[in-house]
Amino acid sequence: MRLNFKYLLLFFIISVINIKPQDDLQRQVEFADNLYHQKLFYDAITEYKRLLFFDVNRTYSFYANNKIAQSYKGGGKFDDAVKYFKKAELSTLDQSEKFESKLEIIKVNILRETTQQSIDLIDELLSEEKDKEKVKQLDYWKAWTYMFANKWEIAYQILNIYPEFSELSKYCKEVIDEKYSVNFAKLLAYILPGAGQFYTGEYLSGAMSLSWNILFGYLTINSFVEERVFDGFAIGTLLWMRFYRGNYQNAERFAENKNIEIANNKLKYIQQNYQGLKP
């Protein structure tokens, strides 16, 4: 009787040891997740890689690859992130997981501002997608792509179709309304030096531009009136034209800079305050 008990015990212990491998992997997942949540992404990747290496049944392959990619994304290493999202996509047979990986790749492309790649991916998915819910998601990310490419009009057109995205489309509309027209600024500057700068709110620069143009314009005309033709040509081409050109280049530059600022401010606001999905 005693002997049997001993064997029973031994059996019990061995079985405990035998259960362990699966248990170890589970613990490894928790360990890696813990590092991930502490934003220690470099170490998290090491542990996810360890998990992948010992997970011979590939139970965690999608999960771990996806997490590695997310870690790279968290470190701003977008190229590596894409590489691992691709691996995650290849490591699963589940259609919804594949779709998720593709969306993640699109999001990384949005963040690293590789607009064309993002749009190509979305269009490719849209061409074979029938599910309305998924089409909506893809359109949503398409709009984000255009927002990051500073093409707010297109983003607005896409978002405006769906009532669920009214908040985001409102932001797009605001940017469109706030933006300066670059061509209008240039046109103003052509007509009256400095006016384009005034339009974009750069009053000092506009006033100085105007005064240089008046001064050199006067000197040029004066030289011609006094029949000093050489001086007239010299001042006209070397100075007046130079500042006149500088004037409309500045009008254009200021308008563009202001527009970038407007877009950046709005994006910053969205990053901090918008509650919906973000790339």
When the beta carbons of 91 and 125 are compared against another protein, the nearer one is 91
The residue whose two tokens read 């280049």 is 249
Query: How many positions of this chain bind another protein (CB under 8 A)?
Result: 64
Q: Indicate whether 247 belongs to the interface with another protein (CB under 8 A).
A: yes
Q: Please count the residues of the chain.
A: 279
Instruction: State whether residue 55 is helix, strand or coil.
Output: coil
Q: Indicate whether 148 belongs to the interface with another protein (CB under 8 A).
A: yes
Torsions phi, psi of 52, nearest 5?
-60, -40
Residues 97-126 touching another protein, rule: CB under 8 A, are: 111, 113
Contact flags string 41-60 toward another protein, x per CB under 8 A: xx--xx--xx-xxx-x-x--
Q: Indicate whether 263 belongs to the interface with another protein (CB under 8 A).
A: yes
By the 8 A CB rule, do 40 and 71 touch?
no
Q: What whole-number distance in Å separates Cα of residue 229 and Cα of residue 163?
A: 68
Q: How far is the CB of 130 from another protein (least distance, A)?
A: 31
Rg (CA), the chain: 31
Contact flags string 3-42 toward another protein, x per CB under 8 A: --xx--x---x--x---xx--xx-xx--x-------xxxx
Q: What whole-number distance in Å separates Cα of residue 143 and Cα of residue 167?
A: 13
Q: Indicate whether 253 belongs to the interface with another protein (CB under 8 A).
A: yes
Q: Indicate whether 271 belongs to the interface with another protein (CB under 8 A).
A: yes
Which parts of the chain fold into alpha helices (H)? 2-37, 41-54, 61-74, 78-90, 95-111, 115-128, 132-148, 152-160, 166-178, 182-191, 195-199, 203-225, 229-235, 241-273
Looking at 136, 170, 228, 242, which residue binds another protein (CB under 8 A)? 242
DSSP labels, 84-95: HHHHHHHT---H
Q: Indicate whether 228 belongs to the interface with another protein (CB under 8 A).
A: no
* Residues lying near another protein in the complex (CB under 8 A): 2, 5-6, 9, 13, 16, 20-21, 24-25, 27-28, 31, 39-42, 45-46, 49-50, 52-54, 56, 58, 61, 72, 74-77, 79-80, 83, 87, 91, 111, 113, 148-150, 205, 208-209, 212, 242-243, 245-247, 249-250, 253, 257-258, 260-261, 263-264, 267-268, 270-271
